[in-house]
Amino acid sequence: MLRRQLLRAVRTTELAETAGCSRRCVAASLPEPTAEAGPNLPPFDHTPAPYTGPSKAEVYGLRRQFLSPAMFHHFKDPLMVVEGNMQYLYDETGRRYLDAFAGIVTVSVGHCHPRVTAAVMQQSKLLQHTTTIYLHPEVAQYGKELTDRMPGNLKVAYFVNSGSEANDMAIMMARLHTGNYDILALRNAYHGLSESTMGLLGHHTWKPNVPQGFGVRHLMNPDPYRGMLGSDGKAYAADAKAVIESATPGQVAGFVAETIQGVGGTVELAEGYLPAVYQMVRDAGGVCIADEVQTGFGRTGSDYWGFQNAGVQPDIVTMAKGIGNGLPLAAVVTTPEIAATLARRLHFNTFGGNPVCAAGGRAVLQAVDEDGIQANAAKVGAHLKEALLELQQRHDIIGDVRGRGLMLGVEMVRDRATKEPAGPETAQVMERLRHLGVLIGKGGLYGNVFRIKPPMCLTIADADFLIQAMDLALSEL
């Protein structure tokens, strides 16, 4: 039944495009998702509040008329989310979904986590805003508590609003501190969409045709699955040395990398790569920047920070997303020596370290520790990855299963030998999963990688439900 509905919806879309209408103008005619025969969500003790706001059609109309057309929605028939609780989301009808994507890897300890919610509400009653020109206890205490969780001499925090802003700040710090300009980044990387960070991106899909990337040198991506050199990390590092010697003055400002590429499709860098490149960069006068926007706060399970899995010590660390469990919060953490470079000029951030966000950030740290979030990511993530590997044995379309903890990727291919990307099939399975009650992400350059990065309160029962739903959706292909 669902397949017939989807085929009708696709045909409706094709006819509308032929008539000169965009895909968005037929969304209202697409079938409304309904619960269908399939696995059952685990029991959960929460009743969503009755929704009394504008209808989904009204909201969609308002969005089309008043919000940027650049914003895309995740499904052919957009999902309207009106409530969340821990690892679950609810639509306007009260239907519950397992959130396996965590608001794009942003909800770390759970939707509306009671500790975080209480901290935000309490601070909101006292003072909602001040700036860095005044003292405030929340941001000062938060700075200490955050840097206490950092290894080495990473003891100074600078709070901003987003991962893009954090990476932008880190690049400026690297250039000011070293006196050099060239920045090394990886192909397939994603570091944000500000004008500066857009130049670091290794995906054409996120790059408008505007000037960008001046002074950025992109290195060969050490991708063990698709990379030209397989899983030989030191061979990829040789490319970095060649770029430093041939495409820069021989001195660089820094090197920036995600420790597991997120938007790029949950790509773990080849073993041995980061230690070798970190040494090369430092020999060339540069600093090493770890982008922990998606891998931080225990998500990999084995360590609190993703870079620890590679056995390296960065000079600058950027973090966002899970840092605030959905609050507009991010940070740059570095050494006192590098941080001092900003004092050469006046500098401040209007909203960085906002009292409400700082209170929420502190509560996230407490929840990670007291709820055993990192241990849960390790336990449930290992269980889920093992089950995904078993799925790979049953479904030839799964080319690769990878990742750590609750940051997992499943790459879909039409042929395991040629690794031809199965992009349309990935989209079809994602749509089917939505109807079965699972919200999942996809990424990679070809849009053929499932990104499984749920709130880290996910349970074993949730993981089993996800696997059963995915097995059913894949079987229907």
Residue 7, pLDDT above cutoff 60: no
Could you give the dihedral angle defined by the CA atoms of residues 172, 178, 179 and 184, in that order, rounded to the nearest 10 degrees? -60
β-pairing verdict for 287-291 and 254-258: parallel
The two structure tokens encoding residue 289:
């920047």
Nearest to 288 by CA among 297, 276, 296: 276
Largest distance between two CA atoms of the chain: 66
Tracing tokens 């099939």 back to the chain, one arrives at: 425
**Residue 154 tokens, joined:** 């990473």
The pLDDT-based confidence of 72 (bands split at 50, 70, 90) is confident
Average pLDDT over residues 67-96: 94
Residue 116 has φ and ψ, to the nearest 5°, of -70, -45
Residue among 296, 324, 375 nearest 117 (CA): 324
Name the nearest CA neighbour of 95 among 80, 109, 105.
80
Q: What average pLDDT score do residues 197-223 get? A: 92
DSSP string, 48-114: PPPP-S--HHHHHHHHHHHS-TT---SSSSPPPEEEEEBTEEEETT--EEEESSHHHHT-SS-BT-H
Tens digit of pLDDT for each residue in 257-312? 999 999 999 999 999 999 999 999 999 999 999 999 999 999 999 999 999 999 99
Tell me the C-alpha distance between 332 and 319, whole Å: 7
DSSP state of 338: H
Q: Per-residue confidence at 473, pLDDT binned at 50, 70, 90?
A: very high
Measured in degrees and rounded to the nearest 5, phi and psi for residue 245 equal: -75, -30
Q: Cβ distance 256 to 200 under 8 Å? A: yes
Band (pLDDT 50/70/90 cuts) for residue 15 is very low
For residue 346, what pLDDT is reported?
Answer: 84
d(CA 23, CA 260): 33
Query: Which token pair is 106?
Result: 């942003």
Tokens standing for 39? Answer: 């696995």
Residues in the chain: 477
Task: Round the average pLDDT of the chain to a whole number and report it.
Answer: 92
Does position 323 have pLDDT exceeding 60, yes or no? yes
Place 36 in a pLDDT band, splitting at 50, 70 and 90.
Answer: low
The answer to whether residues 440 and 450 touch, using CB atoms and an 8 Å cutoff, is yes
Tens-place pLDDT, residues 353-399: 899 999 999 999 999 999 999 999 999 999 999 999 999 999 999 99
What domains can be seen in the chain, in order of their start residue?
Answer: 32-105+373-475 (3.90.1150.10), 114-370 (3.40.640.10)
User: Residue 281 carries which DSSP code?
Assistant: H
- Rounded distance between C-alpha atoms, residue 437 and residue 425, angstroms: 18
